[in-house]
Amino acid sequence: MFVSLPCFILPDQWTGAEIEQAIRSARILAYADDRPFVQRDITRSMGQFVPLSKTMREQVNELRYWSVDRATPASSKLALSSE
């Protein structure tokens, strides 16, 4: 079964582990209601999560700045948050 992610999930705000956990939670919600798993379940589950990029914004940005000259980027573009 293919279910697309809600449009409010931005890759620079959510980690893969956070998205995975939200989908697992959504599947459990659907199973508990004895019905098929749908995108609405993911949206509901994601609404209950606060990504680390928000709860630990300063620590994440400090780590990003620290890593600029000290680590190999995982992608060709490093997006530093100015917020």
> What does the domain layout of the chain look like in residue ranges?
16-67
pLDDT band of residue 46 (cuts 50, 70, 90) is: confident
Whole-number Å distance between alpha carbons of 2 and 42: 12
- The lowest-confidence range among 4-13, 18-27, 28-37, 51-60 is 4-13
Is the entire prediction scored with pTM above 0.75?
Answer: no
Amino acid identity at 37: F
Structure tokens belonging to residue 68? 């600029």
DSSP 47: T
